[in-house]
Amino acid sequence: MTIVRTTRTRFDEAIDDDLNVVLILAGASGTPAQAVHDAANTLVHTYRRVFILRSVTVLTHEEQELWVSAPQTFAYYNCLTDETRDWGSVEDLLDPQGLPDLLEIRDRFAMTEIQ
């Protein structure tokens, strides 16, 4: 589980590694963003990383514009190409019952990895 509250050292290390694809989520504990974060961690491997930001204020203004600028939002970032390939509301990563949709999360990782 990788939670960013105020210190972003591990987050910076992940986005600086060209091999990584990073799912960035914004949200508090107990929210759908937290549920997606926890579920997405089952899909993490060598170059897939998942971070949840408790507050978007840990990001610079430019990063907020590129990735997440409000709670309950997400972005998939390809570090090699320096591109945000997918973003939106956390609700887009939930199934009709409001639970994290692992197939959707996995497919979006895969689409972000494609060069």
Tell me, what DSSP letter sits at residue 94?
B
CA angle in degrees (0–180, nearest 5) for 18-67-20: 20
pLDDT value at residue 27? 94
Q: Cα–Cα distance between 70 and 101 in angstroms, integer?
A: 21
Q: What range does the domain containing 88 cover?
A: 3-113
User: How does pLDDT run along the chain (115 residues), one tens digit per residue?
Assistant: 588 888 899 999 999 999 999 999 999 999 999 999 999 999 888 889 999 999 999 999 999 999 999 999 999 999 999 999 899 999 999 999 999 999 999 999 999 987 6
pLDDT at residue 115, rounded to an integer: 60
pLDDT computed for residue 1 by the predictor: 57
Residue type, 97: Q
Query: In angstroms, rounded to a whole number, what is the distance separating the alpha carbons of residues 74 and 93?
Result: 9
Distance separating alpha carbons of residues 78 and 114, to the nearest angstrom? 9
- d(CA 92, CA 85) in angstroms, rounded, equals 15
Domain total for the chain? 1
Q: What is the pLDDT of residue 45?
A: 83
User: What CATH number corresponds to the domain at position 92?
Assistant: 3.40.30.10
Map tokens 């639970």 to a residue.
99
What strand order describes the sheet that includes 73-78? 3-4, 48-53, 21-26, 73-78, 83-89
